[in-house]
Amino acid sequence: MYKKPAFAILLLLMLASAVTGQEKRLSISVEIEGLGEVLLEETPVDQNETTQLLLKKPGGMLQVIDSYDGLLPADLIKHDLDGDGNLEIISLLRHPDGIDVIMHIYTTDADFKKIFPESQSENNPLICREVFISTHGNQPAVCTRHLVSYHDFGPPELYRLEFYQLQKGLLVLAQQGFTEGNHYNILMNRGALAFHNGQYLEALDFYNQAISSSTGEISSRAFIESLFYLAESRKFLKDFRNALELYQKIVLEFSQNQFTDTAQSEIELISQNIEHPDVLSFYIDVTSHINCDRWETALELLQNHRLGSAESPLLDRMLFARAEVLTALNRVDEAIEVYRSIQQKFPDSPIISSVEAALEDMLEKPEETDGL
């Protein structure tokens, strides 16, 4: 009986492997009547992930509509988004290491004009967990589902839902809402969203609801986390007495936890400066703007108000806030100078360890971390 040589068997296995590799290439298609087949297809180039949006015309000729470097196909949707009788194409892509999708929308006219994003240079704001077709006001709508995850005690999770409609060739936000539920993870994340938008009364309401959630007993870790953000919200509302009580509860009534040191620091800050209400209030205003990512407003306050200058008894913290803002605004060299001035002027400051950690991180040489 004839037996194939070992090298022949190996060659067959290699060919089978190559064919299998080709079969694993991702490709999604939809048929457009009168135009042909639209494909969203993975096309590796020089070992880099690339995806192309293609039109396969009757007869087999391929037209490249768009290319996406470093992304993989996720889904391809066709729908008449504005009710004019003409279909639009939605291509959804994802990063090889991620699960969120990135959306691009095109007309199906002769040149496949891109509707969204409007220009090649525009940062795509619609990176979300899921995209699907829905309706709003009896009209077609693209619904995007965004995970809100400041706290991680789910499931269930909190999602922000956004409904977009195509109006006169532009994608317009028609409505925004949230998934419903009274589980403490959902309520805490609603509180966190309000907190980071500077809506501190609303944050208090959601965190209080989380603590008294009717869906079951809140976990101890989630309870402490909720207490901390209740204290923070009280602080930003300048209700210092109740803020102190909550910080003290975290420190005194619970064993060492992730918020103990921060809560103790806030107790010291408020207690030591309660007799300087104007200074403390100004500092809270600055840090509230930082909390809400209003960097320019925070910097303007620090630069133009006398309490942000050398007259302030909280100068070390004012300078630290300035350095944080400068870093966020990518003015790194200026931030380093400010951190160094804190080291020189306030070597015994309670925030000196944070200053040194920030400096070490900013001055770290790239070659020291290469390959790690």
Is residue 203 helix, strand or coil?
helix
For residues 51-69, one letter each, b for 16 or more C-beta atoms within 10 angstroms of the residue's C-beta and e for the rest, the string is bbbbbbeeeeeeeebbebe
* Alpha-carbon gap, residue 207 to 230, rounded angstroms: 7
- Is residue 18 very low, low, confident or very high in pLDDT (cuts 50, 70, 90)? very low
Among candidate residues 168, 57, 54, the one with its CA nearest the CA of residue 118: 168
Token pair listed for 297: 């407003």
* Alpha-carbon gap, residue 234 to 228, rounded angstroms: 10
- pLDDT of amino acid 120: 63
- pLDDT of amino acid 175: 95
- Is residue 8 very low, low, confident or very high in pLDDT (cuts 50, 70, 90)? very low
Q: How many residues does the chain have?
A: 372
Considering only the C-alpha atoms of the chain, give the largest distance between any 2 of them, rounded to a whole number of Å.
100
The neighbouring-strand residues paired with 167 are 170
* Alpha-carbon gap, residue 172 to 175, rounded angstroms: 9
Provide the sign of the torsion angle of the four alpha carbons 34, 35, 40, 44, taken in this order: positive
Q: Please give the mean pLDDT across all residues of the chain.
A: 87
- Is residue 123 very low, low, confident or very high in pLDDT (cuts 50, 70, 90)? low
Q: What beta strand segments (E) does 149-212 contain?
A: 158-167, 170-178
- Contact in structure between 70 and 49 (CB atoms under 8 Å): yes
Q: What percent of the chain has pLDDT over 70?
A: 86
- pLDDT of amino acid 46: 66
The pLDDT tens digits for 259-293 are 999 999 999 999 998 888 888 999 999 999 999 99
Average pLDDT over residues 205-227: 87
* Alpha-carbon gap, residue 372 to 355, rounded angstroms: 25
Task: Identify the CATH number of the domain defined by range 275-364.
Answer: 1.25.40
- Is residue 226 very low, low, confident or very high in pLDDT (cuts 50, 70, 90)? very high
At 170, give phi and psi (nearest 5°): -120, 145
Average pLDDT over residues 6-34: 61
More confident site: 1 or 358: 358
Average pLDDT over residues 142-146: 96
pLDDT at residue 10 is higher than 60: no
- pLDDT of amino acid 319: 92
Token pair listed for 215: 């869906």
Place of tokens 């694993």: 24
- The top-scoring range by mean pLDDT among 5-19, 50-64, 156-170 is 156-170
Q: What is the pTM of this model?
A: 0.80
Contacts of 89 (CB under 8 A, 6+ apart): 30, 32, 38, 53, 76, 77, 78, 105, 106, 107, 108, 112
Average pLDDT over residues 233-248: 96
- pLDDT of amino acid 274: 87
pLDDT at residue 4 is higher than 70: no
Reply yes or no: is the peptide bond before residue 155 cis, omega within 30 of 0. Answer: yes
pLDDT at residue 49 is higher than 80: no
- Contact in structure between 164 and 171 (CB atoms under 8 Å): yes
Rounded to an integer, what is the distance from CA 99 to the centroid of its chain?
13
- pLDDT of amino acid 269: 92
Q: Give me the residue spans of the domains in the chain.
A: 25-123, 275-364
Contacts of 202 (CB under 8 A, 6+ apart): 191, 194
* Alpha-carbon gap, residue 78 to 29, rounded angstroms: 10
Contacts of 105 (CB under 8 A, 6+ apart): 81, 88, 89, 90, 91, 114, 115, 116, 142, 166, 171
H or E stretch including 87? none
